Structure 1
Amino acid sequence: MADRALVVDGVSKAFGAGDHAIQALEGVSIHVERGRVTGLIGPDGAGKTTLMRLCCGLYAPDAGAIRVMGLDTVAQSARIQAVVGYMPQRFGLYEDLTVQENLDLYADLNGLGSAEREQRFGELMAMTGLAPFTGRLAGRLSGGMKQKLGLACTLLRRPPLMLLDEPTVGVDPVSRRELWRIIYREVETAGTTVLLSTAYLDEAARCDEVVMLHRGRVLGQGPPEAFSRPLAGRVYIARAQGLSRRALQGRLAASPRVLDAIIAGDAVRVVTREAGISDPARVAGDLAGLTLEPAEPRFEDAFVATLREIEPARGEEQPLMRGHGARQDGEEIIRVRHLVRRFGDFTAVKGISFSVRRGEIFGLLGANGAGKSTTFRILCGLLPATDGTVAVAGYDLRRAAAPARRRLGYMAQRFSLYPTLTVMQNLQFFASAYGLTGRRRGQRIRWALETFDLADYADLNSSDLSLGHRQRLAFAVALMHEPDILFLDEPTSGVDPLARREFWRRTSALAEAGVTVLVTTHFMEEANYCDRLVIMAEGEVLAEGSPEDLKSRVRSAALPSPTMEDAFIGLVGRRQEAGSA
């Protein structure tokens, strides 16, 4: 027990009372070893933030006990603050203060003397790469830089235990990797203990141990490989001649012998229900030309397998759209030429050009501050261009933005639902906003409730839905008027892997029906679902091509099988090196 920095014993926590009570945690027991990185892995709504706040004494448990560095979080709460550094999801930076002024403020709050703070400031600025930006207002930093500054403020007094609540959420892969480098260095040089929560399942591999949390319960704790090892002999990379990867994924996902099937580059990653089913005929029946190549299981495979036991896959679904017909390869539906957008003296988008064809899933990726969000808002008709031309569905956005918008469906990052309206009222409102009337309006509302399994929640306020159900409602709203083009802004941020798979299955079906999809995401593995991608950096198009094209540009003897994250980091890194040369 002496080697444990944190012990959580049988902790439960609920919010509200009576029929409105929400059980955030139930019977949670975990431990965190000193000098190690422990990951708290799970989707939004799993209870990660509640557990973090309990551990630093901000909440008191309803049942059970928590000891931090030997101190009880209730009986000795005043002493807890001296041994814990807590970085919440939205760290309290003062955006109207500079980087240096934020550091000075947190140094004052932590009682650091002048000599200690001078040494620590130098170390942290070098570690985070923020030294050139100490005079910049915090509000003018990119998302990744804000997270680094928040982490630096948390590390000022070198706490024995760091509680980091989703420090990498919403930041690009380059910033994620840099944040992890900072965390590792602090553990190695100061022996700091870290409990870190994340919704990115690939980050489990970076941890010494992981706690798998789902709906307020612990599903398991141990090294990442302890979860993935039991899936040996059940994971394959599947290919089939003459069959698109989307069609192959659909066939495999429908097989009773398959637990999970996701697109992975030019192939499909398959997890079977039993080990040793390497005969293609046993996996997919009469599917001709199917090959199965064994693959090493990953933590995400194990997480999904565990969730599938709790929540079996849904059955057959209704078609999402009618009347679009087959996709017409080669027909441009979005055309961008020499697009420029300035904000005062700052040029956010610098003369970029690309096009998107009907029925494509097209990814718009970029580091924080790359101009990706600005470009996305221009294409949606939410922001005017300074220069250049943008044509959407045949309409020039400079002259006919309103007619173009009627052809679009838009799913915002935070879903843009009305929280005080019920599910039914949200559907009714957006149906009217899209101009649906009479019988057609009623048909589309019934379609949304049935297709997205929302009928049982029709009278609930949207704010009372789980994140996965809010995502379903937002997706249904975006499709109410059967748009030709669908804009998806970080559509799966924070939702669990099963909801993400359901979402991409629906999106792929839309593309097959001829709907054009433009998507932004920070989940690099999701970029594999795209037909083509643009990676932006510093307001310019850095690279364009299929996922496999982009991976091939960073493939080497040292990196023979690059992931999309490897491709993103490698291509952005080359740009940064060229700029500093």
Structure 2
Amino acid sequence: MRDSDAIVLAQQLRKVFDSPTGEPLHAIDDISLTVRRGRLTALVGPDGAGKTTLLRMAAGLLRPDSGSLHVLDIDVVAHPQAVQDRISYMPQRFGLYEDLGVQENLDLYADLHGVPRDVRRERFARLLEMTDLARFTDRPAGKLSGGMKQKLGLACTLVRSPDLLLLDEPSVGVDPLSRRELWKILQQLVEDEQLSVIVSTAYMDEAERCAQVYVMNQGKLLAEGEPAALAERARGLTFVVPAPQGTPARDLQARLIDADALIIDAVPKGGAVRFIRDPEADAQAVDALLGDLDPQSRPEELEDAFMMMLRLHQDDDGAVAHPHVAASLSPAKTDNDKPVIVVRDLVRKFGDFTAVSHISFDVARGEIFGLLGPNGAGKTTTFRMLCGLLPASSGHLDVLGLDLRTARAQARARIGYVSQKFALYENLSVRENLAFFGGAYGLRGQRLQQRVAATIEQFGLAPKAISGLLPGGYKQRLAMAAGLLHEPEILFLDEPTSGIDPLARRAFWRTITALAQDGVTIIITTHFMEEAEYCDRIAIQDAGKMLALGTPREVRQQADPVRYDEAGTDMNSAFIAIVEQGRARATNSSVPGATA
């Protein structure tokens, strides 16, 4: 049976892989769906939901074990090459040639796809204009920022005009400004060229821009529909409640999210906590949990419905399970008399290029401090100097009372570090990795065994699992466990939630809140602006300069002091506004006679 408007038609589709446990892994489990042509369609779901497997099958790169799959009215199982000749597919790790320039990468992919010479000039000009890369055609791809690399990857994917574009999480690791630009390009392609696009994403605000959303989990299709229709599932269950005076919103969020028999989800925003009540929960029990706090109803959103569907579908031992850590509303153990990090007039240069320019700030014990900025802003360079991994060109940097110019090794023994990319040994088991890194941190004998056992229990890890075969959320959990083995006083986290889904991010932040309550100082970089709401203070950098420094509320207010609304101003919009204002001032100051 054919549907003339269907660009992808799947019926009872299945794909099974072998797993390390010997049990079959049902990556795609009896899925039937119809994707309409000329639309922007989203696949959303947690790690291991099956999104990438479904896209790879649609691209003719994986063969289904059973069921039927037609793409562009072609049987993809029987004729995969015929499908590949008419589609473009951008995987999560797109293969740019980093030693080649922007134009050279475009030329190479045009050659690989057999794009005629007479077509290239007009096509390249349009792609370079859309991606704003026309000024950088000679720059090596390896020298581009993360956002620019993603835009170049998209341009290379589109060197030929496809009938269907498949994008696997194209905005992972990309800052809000670059995300906005990527989505402008996609929407322009859909509107101007009637291009059909299927995109998998971990961002619910991106899924809300799509005409149709498919929600997946553990290989199954949980729901499908327009974003507004799906959001209706949470109607009457969404509330917002202010945090008690003097209490971080994240502490109240932790208490609510721990009450998982009553509360499906909770996130801090604007000094308050937005939560979803379990539809089966007793109203009096929820009132008792909140005490004197007065919740107000709020409009439901797609993410509310998404979290509800995941919570209700997860198995007792599912991949979305997370460790429960005791939480209270007591203040974090802090000693504000003496900051644990002192930065004064910090500068870092690479030849003639200034990556960090004269920044200053302090961090208190037990504080969660966020370093934010667009790709290429200098925040990672700042982060690496704070960790003692990179020396400063000038300025003063003191960590735990130690001058990093003379005592970097002593400081590093008292800090933990979790890198942006999974940096553990993928062929070792969880226990073997923890034992190795515990030894590297100086733990020995019985003390090492005790810490490994306690950490495995705390983070809910399977000790015999092979690290490289873990889902993304579990890899991130293992990396954080390794960084905390030696019980550091400061924990540095470099974009630790990049590429993991909202459910895994909630579990991650629940652990971070517990650490801060115990007096551990947290320094974190992130591209998820919602995560800035968990921080006590945040700093926003761009072009190596400090643009904003303060509490999340102070930073939101700085973005638009005239029209500031505590309830309506979100951190994503504030971030974009502050960066654009900073760039406008920099442009004006460089023009003779211009005023800032």
TM-score range relative to shorter protein: over 0.9
Structure 2 distance, partners of 1:241, 1:371, is 36
Aligned equivalent of 1:528, options 525, 533, 536: 533
Matched, 1:513 2:503: no
SS in 1 for 2:208: helix
SS in 2 for 1:572: helix
**Structure 2 counterpart of 1:480, which letter?**
L
| Farther off after superposition, 495-504 or 104-113 | 104-113
Aligned equivalent of 2:104, options 101, 106, 112: 101
Partner of 2:79 in structure 1?
76
Aligned equivalent of 2:209, options 206, 209, 213: 206
SS in 2 for 1:135: coil
Structure 1 distance, partners of 2:323, 2:358, is 45
SS in 2 for 1:94: coil
**Structure 2 counterpart of 1:40, which letter?**
L
Within-5 A mapping of 1:214-253: 214-242=217-245, 244=247, 245-253=249-257
- Structure 1 contact 86–154 (Cα < 8 Å) conserved: yes
CA-CA distance at 1:445 after TM superposition:
1.8
Call closer, same or farther: CA 1:156–1:438 in 2, change over 3 Å: closer
Aligned equivalent of 2:183, options 180, 183, 194: 180
Partner of 1:572 in structure 2?
579
| Farther off after superposition, 415-424 or 65-74 | 415-424
Gap regions ≥5 residues in structure 2 = 589-596
- Structure 1 contact 341–387 (Cα < 8 Å) conserved: yes
Partner of 2:550 in structure 1?
545
Structure 1 distance, partners of 2:560, 2:353, is 35
| Farther off after superposition, 541-550 or 491-500 | 491-500
**Structure 1 counterpart of 2:529, which letter?**
M
Partner of 1:116 in structure 2?
119
Structure 1 distance, partners of 2:564, 2:189, is 28
Call closer, same or farther: CA 1:126–1:53 in 2, change over 3 Å: same
CA-CA distance at 1:106 after TM superposition:
2.2
Call closer, same or farther: CA 1:43–1:92 in 2, change over 3 Å: same
Partner of 1:468 in structure 2?
473
**Superposition RMSD on alpha carbons, in Å?**
2.3
- Structure 1 contact 232–275 (Cα < 8 Å) conserved: no
SS in 2 for 1:95: coil
Partner of 2:593 in structure 1?
none
Call closer, same or farther: CA 1:95–1:286 in 2, change over 3 Å: closer
Structure 1 distance, partners of 2:155, 2:321, is 44
SS in 2 for 1:285: helix
Partner of 2:591 in structure 1?
none
Structure 1 distance, partners of 2:353, 2:293, is 52
Structure 2 distance, partners of 1:91, 1:526, is 27
Aligned equivalent of 2:166, options 159, 163, 166: 163
Matched, 1:412 2:422: no
- Structure 1 contact 234–275 (Cα < 8 Å) conserved: no
Partner of 1:137 in structure 2?
140
Partner of 1:65 in structure 2?
68
CA-CA distance at 1:471 after TM superposition:
2.3
Within-5 A mapping of 1:229-378: 229-242=232-245, 244=247, 245-255=249-259, 256-274=261-279, 282-285=285-288, 287-311=290-314, 317=324, 326-378=333-385
Partner of 1:8 in structure 2?
10
- Structure 2 contact 325–511 (Cα < 8 Å) conserved: no
Structure 2 distance, partners of 1:57, 1:559, is 50
CA-CA distance at 1:189 after TM superposition:
0.5
**Structure 2 counterpart of 1:422, which letter?**
S
Call closer, same or farther: CA 1:251–1:93 in 2, change over 3 Å: closer
Structure 2 distance, partners of 1:458, 1:147, is 36
Identity percentage of aligned residues: 49
Within-5 A mapping of 1:420-499: 420-454=427-461, 457-499=462-504
Structure 2 distance, partners of 1:538, 1:210, is 37
Structure 1 distance, partners of 2:145, 2:245, is 44
**Structure 2 counterpart of 1:477, which letter?**
A
Structure 1 distance, partners of 2:101, 2:475, is 37
SS in 2 for 1:332: coil
CA-CA distance at 1:334 after TM superposition:
0.7
- Structure 1 contact 240–289 (Cα < 8 Å) conserved: no
Call closer, same or farther: CA 1:386–1:449 in 2, change over 3 Å: same
CA-CA distance at 1:443 after TM superposition:
2.1
Structure 2 distance, partners of 1:427, 1:196, is 36
| Farther off after superposition, 175-184 or 97-106 | 97-106
Structure 2 distance, partners of 1:142, 1:242, is 41
- Structure 1 contact 66–73 (Cα < 8 Å) conserved: yes
Call closer, same or farther: CA 1:100–1:315 in 2, change over 3 Å: closer
CA-CA distance at 1:463 after TM superposition:
1.7
Partner of 2:594 in structure 1?
none
How many residues align? The count is: 574
Partner of 1:395 in structure 2?
402
CA-CA distance at 1:252 after TM superposition:
2.6
Structure 2 distance, partners of 1:372, 1:195, is 32
Q: Deviations over 1:118-170 (max 9, x none)?
A: 11222111111111111111111111111111111222222111011111111
- Structure 1 contact 416–474 (Cα < 8 Å) conserved: yes
Call closer, same or farther: CA 1:192–1:420 in 2, change over 3 Å: same
**Structure 1 counterpart of 2:182, which letter?**
L
**Structure 1 counterpart of 2:257, which letter?**
A
**Structure 2 counterpart of 1:151, which letter?**
L
Call closer, same or farther: CA 1:559–1:333 in 2, change over 3 Å: closer
Matched, 1:56 2:63: no
**Structure 2 counterpart of 1:253, which letter?**
I
| Farther off after superposition, 156-165 or 441-450 | 441-450
| Farther off after superposition, 465-474 or 178-187 | 465-474
CA-CA distance at 1:464 after TM superposition:
2.6
Call closer, same or farther: CA 1:100–1:308 in 2, change over 3 Å: same
Structure 1 distance, partners of 2:289, 2:65, is 56
CA-CA distance at 1:239 after TM superposition:
1.4
| Farther off after superposition, 554-563 or 65-74 | 554-563
Structure 1 distance, partners of 2:440, 2:181, is 44
Call closer, same or farther: CA 1:303–1:120 in 2, change over 3 Å: same
Call closer, same or farther: CA 1:75–1:246 in 2, change over 3 Å: closer
CA-CA distance at 1:283 after TM superposition:
2.0
Structure 1 length-normalised TM: 0.93
Structure 2 distance, partners of 1:315, 1:19, is 23
CA-CA distance at 1:229 after TM superposition:
0.6
| Farther off after superposition, 188-197 or 3-12 | 3-12
CA-CA distance at 1:536 after TM superposition:
0.8
SS in 2 for 1:503: helix
SS in 2 for 1:565: helix
- Structure 1 contact 434–481 (Cα < 8 Å) conserved: yes
**Structure 1 counterpart of 2:263, which letter?**
V
- Structure 1 contact 251–284 (Cα < 8 Å) conserved: no
**Structure 1 counterpart of 2:338, which letter?**
E
CA-CA distance at 1:72 after TM superposition:
1.1
| Farther off after superposition, 168-177 or 87-96 | 87-96
